[in-house]
């Protein structure tokens, strides 16, 4: 191809608007770029090559600055031009039979550059704090983080330091800090889970699931994010959830600005993220059932309900065991609407009504109370 095509490729790769669109962060710009290319074969080919090259950068997954990547891309393209010029001067080259063009060389160099950035990213992630562009559920600091894996149970209860509750599906894992000390709360999911997040507008909560990020202040929702799945799905039960791609050009803004919302979901709405295309779509639901686990369709509303029935429902919903004196509390009942509050908040309300006490030890809860009259 001509040098004009090479210049066009370089212009696209260093254009923030194009990069954001090509990475799936701006589906609203589809018309803009399709009209720009129109029936121009050179532009269409250049866009295709640029998108393919940008995919090679995704494996890097680091906090490398845009300026650094831009410089490296420019170096690769300039090297490709130089090689082509030298070949044209020599006219005869051992590589001639391979029909190398500036595009072959550029693609090779940039692909190798992507691998180099990936290696650099792995090294950098091991020596830096987990951030917006970190690998999901890959936490190197074992002292600061906890990782819980549910290998064989239908669901497993996970309690976070802020009281938030996670119901972890079978063959799934969740990584999280032992204490939330910074301006945000962040957890890293691999697989499927249901979340009940403690409300705290001053400390937004982020779930990283493959290439998708969910931002919440306090709500309940499900996420389906298997590593081998082509999609990441979020279904909201109560409250609001804002979702975006971690490659979105505004990703850092969404993280820093507590009030800034991305792709907003409300109760009984579902977002589907196409991982290969970096595209989000919204769907209205009749019910927010995504993982087919009991907690998704329970509203935890009770009217003079015997505690044995309440405790049984909580056991099924959270995958826990509740130990209590059945004979002593056989006459106890509860009238309350517990809603989407995390499990520990539900226990506080129940025990306040019953004038009882509770203790949590991993996934077993012990409740001690007096007889009800």
Q: Where are the domains of the chain?
A: 3-126, 145-284, 298-368
From the options 3.55.50.30, 3.30.70.2860, 3.40.50.620, 3.40.140.10, give the CATH code of 298-368: 3.55.50.30
Q: How far apart are the first and last CA of the chain?
A: 88
Q: Residue 185's pLDDT is what?
A: 94
Q: Residue 64's pLDDT is what?
A: 47
Q: Residue 256's pLDDT is what?
A: 81
Query: Which residues have C-beta within 8 Å of that of residue 35, sequence separation ≥ 6?
Result: none
Let me know if domain 145-284 sits in CATH 3.40.50.300: no
Rounded-to-integer distance, Cα 221 and Cα 219, Å: 7
Rounded-to-integer distance, Cα 169 and Cα 149, Å: 9
Phi/psi at 358 (5° precision): -135, 160
- Reported as half-sphere exposure (CB side, CA atoms, 13 A), residue 87 has a value of 17
Q: Residue 63's pLDDT is what?
A: 45
Give the three-state DSSP class for 160.
Answer: coil
pTM recorded for the entire structure: 0.64
SS3 content of the chain, % helix, strand, coil (to 5): 35, 25, 35
Other beta carbons within 10 angstroms of residue 86's beta carbon come to 10
Nearest one of 126, 81, 85, 129 to 105, comparing CA atoms: 81
Strands 172-177 and 263-265: unpaired
Taking the chain (373 residues) in runs of 10, the rounded mean pLDDT of each run is 62 77 75 79 77 60 48 54 54 44 50 46 40 41 78 94 95 94 92 95 92 90 93 95 89 82 91 90 91 93 94 95 93 91 94 93 90 84
- In DSSP terms, which residues pair with 165 in a beta bridge? 159, 196
Q: What residue ranges in 226-320 does DSSP mark as E strands?
A: 231-238, 241-245, 263-265, 269-274, 279-284, 301-306
User: Which one-letter DSSP state was computed for residue 127?
Assistant: T
CB 246 within 8 A of CB 133: yes
């Amino acid at each position: 191809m001509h040098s004009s095509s090479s210049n066009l490729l370089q212009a696209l790769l260093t254009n923030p608007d194009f990069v954001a669109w090509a990475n799936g962060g701006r589906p609203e710009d589809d018309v803009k770029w399709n009209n720009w290319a129109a029936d121009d074969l050179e532009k269409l080919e250049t866009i295709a090559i640029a998108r393919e090259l940008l995919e090679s950068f995704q494996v890097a997954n680091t906090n490398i600055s845009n300026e650094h990547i831009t410089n490296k891309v420019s170096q690769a393209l300039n090297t490709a031009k130089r090689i082509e010029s030298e070949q044209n001067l020599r006219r005869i080259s051992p590589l001639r039979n391979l029909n190398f063009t500036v595009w072959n060389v550029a693609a090779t160099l940039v692909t190798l550059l992507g691998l180099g950035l990936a290696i650099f990213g792995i090294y950098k992630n091991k020596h830096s704090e987990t951030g917006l562009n970190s690998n999901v559920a890959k936490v190197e600091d074992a002292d600061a983080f906890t990782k819980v894996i549910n290998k064989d149970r239908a669901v497993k209860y996970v309690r976070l330091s802020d009281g938030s509750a996670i119901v972890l599906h079978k063959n799934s894992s969740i990584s999280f800090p032992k204490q939330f000390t910074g301006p945000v709360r962040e957890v890293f999911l691999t697989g499927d889970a249901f979340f009940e997040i403690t409300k705290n507008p001053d400390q937004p909560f982020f779930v990283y699931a493959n290439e998708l990020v969910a931002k919440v202040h306090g709500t309940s929702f499900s996420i389906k994010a298997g590593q081998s799945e082509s999609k990441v799905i979020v279904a909201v039960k109560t409250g609001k959830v804002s979702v975006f791609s971690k490659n979105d050009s505004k990703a850092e803004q969404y993280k820093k600005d507590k009030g800034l919302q991305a792709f907003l979901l409300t109760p009984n709405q579902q977002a589907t993220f196409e991982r290969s295309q970096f595209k989000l779509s919204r769907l209205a639901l009749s019910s927010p059932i995504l993982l087919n686990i009991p907690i998704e369709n329970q509203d935890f509303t009770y009217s003079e309900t015997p505690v044995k029935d309440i405790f049984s429902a909580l056991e099924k919903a959270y995958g826990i065991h509740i130990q209590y004196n059945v004979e002593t509390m056989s006459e106890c009942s509860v009238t309350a609407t517990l809603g989407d509050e995390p499990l520990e908040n539900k226990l506080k309300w129940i025990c306040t009504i019953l004038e009882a006490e509770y203790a949590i030890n991993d996934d077993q809860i012990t409740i001690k109370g007096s007889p009800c009259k």
